Amino acid sequence: MGGTNMAKRKYDPEKLRQAAADWDVHHALVAGVRRLVKLAGGVQEAKDVIDAIAAADALEEERDEAK
């Protein structure tokens, strides 16, 4: 049995740091959404909260553009 040659991979430390940060952000977003669903009382209620926030942001943006 001969050994197989495994190609050595060179990992860029900066890319690894960025990937870890992206993973942390992903988990924080998932945890936040789960918490929102729990606090809102369900999935549809959480969607309604998100829609209301988006509508308020749109109104605020329109006001800022009108200035």
Determine, yes or no, domain membership for 10.
Answer: no
pLDDT digits 0-9 by tens, 37-67 = 999 999 999 999 999 999 999 999 999 999 8
Query: Can you give the residue range of the structural domain that contains 45?
Result: 15-66
Helix extents (H) in the chain: 13-40, 43-66
Determine, yes or no, domain membership for 51.
Answer: yes
Q: Whole-prediction pTM value?
A: 0.60
- Percent of the chain beyond pLDDT 70? 88
pLDDT for the residue 67: 83
Does the pLDDT value for residue 11 go beyond 90?
Answer: no
> Distance between CA atoms of 21 and 27, rounded to whole angstroms?
10
Determine, yes or no, domain membership for 53.
Answer: yes
Determine, yes or no, domain membership for 34.
Answer: yes
Question: Which pair of structure tokens corresponds to residue 7?
Answer: 């190609």
